[in-house]
Amino acid sequence: MMHNFYKRHLMSDDKIGGLASKYSALYVEDEKDTRESVLRILKRVGFANLYSAENGLEGLAIFKEKRPEIVISDIQMPVMNGLDMIKNILEMSDDAHILLTTAFGDQEYFMRSIELKVDKYIMKPIDMTQFLEAIDNACMQIEQKKLAFAYLAKEAQDKLEMAISDATRLIVDANPHPTVVFKNQKLSYINDAFLELLSHKDLDSIDGGIFPCVLEPRGGYMSSLSDYAQDGGDVNKACIKNSKGKDRIFEVRKKDILLEDGSVSIYFFTDITLLEYQRRKLQLFGNAVQKELISKRFEERKKADAKEKESVAPIEKITFRKIAAGEYAAEIDSVVFEQLEELDELEVEINDDLTLFLERRDGAYLRTFADRLEKYAYTMKMLFEFEQLSFAIKNIAELLYQNSIDMDVSKIDKIGMYCSAIAEDLANWRNGIFVSRSAIDIHYLDNSLYSSCLQLEFEIKGIKLDDDAGELELF
């Protein structure tokens, strides 16, 4: 009769069965009849897994292996009592939900169970209604803990992402260069500097979360952000028409940030229009005047070096036959090659000096830059094919040194730009010919270096060139 009551109660209690199916339970009882009777009821509750043990030591071993969420145990048992087992269990997992059953009303046991923070204390003989309510409450408390933890974890993640988002916006807004942010490949944020480049039509696209098609399809430039090359170099340049319809050239840099729910990609655009314009102009300008000016400078140097009795023919622009880098480098003497390898460190020092000069506006760093540039030219002079080029670099190094003390502050940025062009060309010259050996022609950078030296000399001496007064036209 009693069992039929239990059956009706359990069959009607869908809530217990639904929650219990998510969790596992361990029942520890030394009395066989009681253990079997209660186990029959617990099986009907519908736990995902149900384990049983005859004493505390056996129960502890099962818990270590199975880690059930609910533990139901008697107190007085052989080998190890229930309270000692519970103490060990809670040391392993303080999330375990504990229900104790006992036939004793000993105050000491009761106080100790409180100290152990036992969730429920049930007296024998067990009132099954009370027992099932205790299991029901245990399942609901575990579920609420999980939901609360999930909520707190989500809240923490949201706060973290918001902090990252806020930090990203602060970084992006603080950056004076046009900047674009994508989250999971979808447009997320554009700073004010980039918005100034866009038209009203482009803004409609942004409202839809789509990056506008503002990159001009020019040869040698990115036509879309998907063209970005991770290895960098000259490939990552883009042409964008500003709001006035004028072409501007940008160097593009990308930074990726990984998050739990995806990734953030930040694209930084640095305006290099003036530098690109100067490079193109230098190439055209240099071919026209380099022979006359270099020859003139050589004659002046020849007179100054007369005491050393150096007999050198005037420098002229000679048309060299094309020699591939691989073929040329293979013939270089090993001693010379060692000297060329040491230029790697010198290039780093040259760039450091130039950076400090531009940051601190101090001519002392320009003098150090000039000294290192002259050392570079000295090593280059060991190569017969580049003797003329080394002379041009040595000449500009001396000019920089002589004018570094009382330099016109208004010229620092332009001088720095030309020096940067020379430093970059020298690094590419050494890499293309002697490191990667990828240059099709070893003289592929001669004109650029000659022209940069000439343009820098004109800037230092204040020689004015016929220049276009209006906007720069690159294409």
- Domain closes at, from 229, 249, 271: 271
Higher pLDDT, 82 or 206: 82
Higher pLDDT, 254 or 473: 254
Residues 212, 236, single domain; the answer is yes
Domain assignment present for residue 161? The answer is no
Residues 186, 244, single domain; the answer is yes
| pLDDT interval class at 208 (50, 70, 90) | low
Residues 48, 120, single domain; the answer is yes
Per the structure, the complete domain to which residue 69 belongs is given by 2-148
CB of 218 closer than 8 Å to CB of 239? yes
| pLDDT interval class at 356 (50, 70, 90) | very high
CB of 48 closer than 8 Å to CB of 21? yes
Query: Ramachandran region of residue 79, left (φ > 0), alpha (ψ -120 to 50) or beta?
Result: left
Record the pTM: 0.38
Domain assignment present for residue 166? The answer is no
Domain assignment present for residue 185? The answer is yes
pLDDT at 368: 93
Look up the CATH number of the domain holding residue 251.
3.30.450.20
Give the residue-averaged pLDDT of 249-273: 83
pLDDT at 15: 45
pLDDT above 60 for 472? no
What is the helix, strand, coil percentage profile of the chain, to 5?
60, 15, 30
Give the residue-averaged pLDDT of 131-145: 87
pLDDT above 90 for 75? no
Residues 235, 329, single domain; the answer is no
* Residue range 84-128, pLDDT digits in tens: 998 899 888 888 888 888 776 655 666 676 677 777 878 888 888
Q: Where do runs of H (alpha helix) occur along 126-199?
A: 128-174, 192-195
Q: What is the mean pLDDT of the chain?
A: 78
Nearest to 325 by CA among 442, 446, 429: 442
pLDDT at 102: 77
| pLDDT interval class at 397 (50, 70, 90) | very high
* Residue range 15-32, pLDDT digits in tens: 455 778 888 999 999 999
Give the residue carrying structure tokens 């020849």: 302
Residues 375, 454, single domain; the answer is yes
pLDDT above 80 for 302? no
Q: What's the CA gap between 452 and 290, in Å, rounded?
A: 11
pLDDT above 70 for 474? no
pLDDT above 50 for 6? no
Domain assignment present for residue 154? The answer is no
Residues 262, 280, single domain; the answer is no
- Domain closes at, from 240, 271, 302: 271
Domain assignment present for residue 438? The answer is yes
* Residue range 141-197, pLDDT digits in tens: 888 888 877 777 677 556 656 665 666 667 666 777 888 888 887 877 788 788 777
Q: Would you call 79 exposed, middle or buried from its count of C-beta atoms within 10 A (0-12, 13-18, 19+)? A: middle
Instruction: Choose the weakest-confidence range: 51-60, 146-155, 292-301.
Output: 292-301
Domain assignment present for residue 365? The answer is yes
Q: What's the CA gap between 228 and 215, in Å, rounded?
A: 12
Give the residue-averaged pLDDT of 63-88: 90
| pLDDT interval class at 316 (50, 70, 90) | very low
Q: How many domains does the chain have?
A: 3
Domain assignment present for residue 128? The answer is yes
Q: How far is CA 82 from CA 47, 85, 104, in A?
A: 22, 5, 13
Residues 189, 77, single domain; the answer is no
Residues 214, 230, single domain; the answer is yes
* Residue range 332-351, pLDDT digits in tens: 888 788 888 889 999 999 99
Domain assignment present for residue 437? The answer is yes
Residues 84, 57, single domain; the answer is yes
Higher pLDDT, 252 or 309: 252
pLDDT at 318: 44
- Domain closes at, from 244, 271, 298: 271
Residues 297, 421, single domain; the answer is yes
Q: Would you call 107 exposed, middle or buried from its count of C-beta atoms within 10 A (0-12, 13-18, 19+)? A: exposed
* Residue range 439-461, pLDDT digits in tens: 888 887 888 888 888 888 888 88
First to last CA, the chain: 98
Residues 318, 194, single domain; the answer is no
Q: What's the CA gap between 76 and 142, in Å, rounded?
A: 27
Give the residue-averaged pLDDT of 57-66: 93
Look up the CATH number of the domain holding residue 93.
3.40.50.2300
Residues 304, 267, single domain; the answer is no
Nearest to 119 by CA among 5, 25, 7: 25
pLDDT above 80 for 319? no
